[in-house]
Each structure stands twice: as C-alpha cells, then as structure tokens.
Amino acid sequence: MLSRFFYIPFVIGVAAFLIVGFTIDSNYFIYIVPFVVCIAVVYILSPQIDWWWHQRHPPELPAGVRHLINTQSLFYQNLSADDKTRFRNRMAMYMEANEFMGQGMEVVPPDIRGVVAASVVQITFGYENYLLNKFEHIIIYPHRFPSPQHPEELHASEYYEEDGAIIFSAEQLMPGFMQPQRFLNIGLYEYTRVFRNCHPEVDFPYIGVEHWPALVEISGFLQDKTIQYIGLPEIDLVALAVVYYYDFGERFKVVLPGEYEGIGRALWVDG
C-alpha cells in the first residue's frame, strides 16, 4: 500500500529525535510532536491515499478469478477489449475496497469473492460511481441462513442497511453465476436491490405481481420455485426483472419490450 511508504520519513524523524533526546539533550523530545502528528494524519488519510494509488495502478485479479469470468460470464465475454479491462479493474478495486467475512468458513475463497465482485460490477457497469459505498461488508454463509430480519426463514441473500452489509449463501450464489439458465443469479438480484437502495433517484420501470406470468415465460423459472429458491415470501420483482434482462435478454425483449428498454435506460446512464 502506498500509504505505508508515507510513514517512513516521519518514523525516521521520531527515531532520530528520540536518539538525540536520550543521548544529548531531552529538550529535543519536543521536536517529535510534529512527526507524530504527521503519522496520525497519514493514518487517517491512508484509505484515500491507497484508493488514489489503486485507481491509477489497479491490482491484478487472481488468475483463477480471471479464468472464471473468461469462461462463465457471458456479459464479460461480450465486452470490447477496453471494457474487459475496465471490468477486471473494477472487480479488483471492489475486492480491495470491501470487507469479505465468512460465516462457517475461515476465509472467503477467491472464486466466491470474484463472483460477488463480478455481480456488482455488472449491475453498475453503466455508471462512473460503481462502489455502492453504503455497503462495505460482504458476509458469506456456506448455505442458506436465518437473520435478525428473517429469523424463521432460511434464505439465500439479503442486505442489512443499518450495518452496511450484504449477505449471500454460497450454495445459491455460485450456481446462479455458473449456470444462470438453470439457477437464479442471486448475485445480480441482491446487487440490484442494493443499487436501488443507494440510488433511489434512478427510474426503473414498474414491475408488479401482474408481471409474474411474463417473468415465468421469459425465464422458465416457476413463481413458487423462484420464491422457494430465494427463501423469502416477498420478492423484489424489479430486481428479478433485472436478472432476467441480463440472463434471458432476447426473450425479455420479445415478451416485455417496453420494460426491457426501461431497464436498459436505468442501468446505462453513464455507460
């Protein structure tokens, strides 16, 4: 991290005046204070310093994660070479900027972290500000989980605004990314919900319960099976429609052309 190098001259200054103070004259100790203040300032500003550096020198994605998006993400595969670079850089920056915590696992594996990052980058790819800074904690369970908001229901994903947390079950997250034609992509689903929370000003088309038959026709996913897969009785149908916009785009365009165009306008403001 670049910020670590900023500490060096100030630490040297502290050490030098400590030596002088102990060996020559204790009055020199007073000169330590400015260096200590500078160290404190660097500490406070270190996230901004490191972020500035990473923006100009994005870290490389792990080879396994890069292979994953090369082989499994149709969205990524269809990008231009420049946009692929932009996508990878954003993924790496997202993984760097956010905290990943495992529940029931000591460390969140790189492939799971990569799928999470690919999901949010896909949803926000049409925007310059893609980080969704209100939510910096990603919690991964190996399987469905209860939560304080839904203690009686084992479910696949949710977000908790008060703690800035997004929670996924790896058991549902990974199949939805690897085989979106067979399993609901809960990464795209939950990040659409988080995006709408962070950007309430963005105008998505209305999608209500009367759209269920069309959504089933588009995806082939039955209504009751979809509710069961997510694990919660209340489904965000706009978020569900966004998943189908990406994963069943051609059918969506035919069945709900107006809604398809409306989602496109909402997602591609800056892109």
Q: How far apart are CA 61 and CA 117, in angstroms?
A: 11
Cα–Cα–Cα angle for 185, 79, 166, nearest 5°? 35
Same domain? 109 vs 168: yes
> Are the C-beta atoms of residues 117 and 189 closer than 8 Å to each other?
no
Contact criterion met (CB below 8 Å) for 140 and 105: yes
91 shares its domain with 212: yes
Strands of 165-169's sheet, edge to edge?
A: 99-102, 137-141, 165-169, 157-160
Residue that has been written with the tokens 């079950």 in this structure: 169
Question: Side chain identity at 253, as an amino acid letter?
Answer: K
For the ranges 49-53, 60-64, 243-247, the one whose mean pLDDT is highest:
243-247
Higher-confidence residue of 37 and 7: namely 37
Q: Same domain for 105 and 34?
A: no
The verdict on 147 and 239 lying in the same domain is yes
pLDDT level of residue 104 (50, 70, 90 thresholds):
confident
In this structure, what token pair is assigned to residue 175? 């199949």
Confidence of residue 264 (pLDDT cuts 50, 70, 90): very high
Same domain, 156 and 250: yes
pLDDT band at 27 (very low <50, low <70, confident <90, very high): confident
Shared domain for 120 and 168, answered yes or no, is: yes
Q: Are residues 240 and 201 part of one domain?
A: yes
**Per-residue pLDDT reduced to its tens digit, 125-184:** 999 888 888 899 999 999 999 998 889 899 999 999 999 999 999 999 999 999 999 999
Instruction: Answer whether 0.85 is exceeded by the pTM.
Output: no
How far from 213 is each of 52, 218, 221, 255, 263, CA to CA, in Å? 47, 9, 10, 10, 18
pLDDT at position 22: 75
Indicate whether 228 and 258 sit together in one domain. yes
pLDDT tens by residue, 54-93 = 555 567 898 999 999 999 999 999 999 999 999 999 999 9
Would you state the torsion angle of the CA atoms of residues 201, 202, 208, 212, taken in this order, to the nearest 10 degrees?
Answer: -150
Amino acid symbol at 227: I
Q: Are residues 91 and 19 in the same domain?
A: no
Domain, as residue range, for 47: 2-56
Over residues 192-216, the mean pLDDT reads 96
Of 10, 25, 56, which marks where a domain is finished? 56
Q: Are residues 89 and 191 in the same domain?
A: yes
Q: What percent of the chain has pLDDT over 70?
A: 87
Q: Tokens 């995806």 appear where?
A: 219
Residue written as tokens 């962070």?
Answer: 198
Kindly state whether residues 183 and 241 are assigned to the same domain.
Answer: yes
- Token pair belonging to 181: 């034609």
Per the CB < 8 A criterion, the answer to whether 248 and 218 are in contact is yes
- Whole-number Å distance between alpha carbons of 202 and 256: 20
My answer on whether 44 and 126 are in the same domain is: no
**Average pLDDT for residues 104-129, to the nearest whole number?**
94
The tally of domains found in the chain comes to: 2
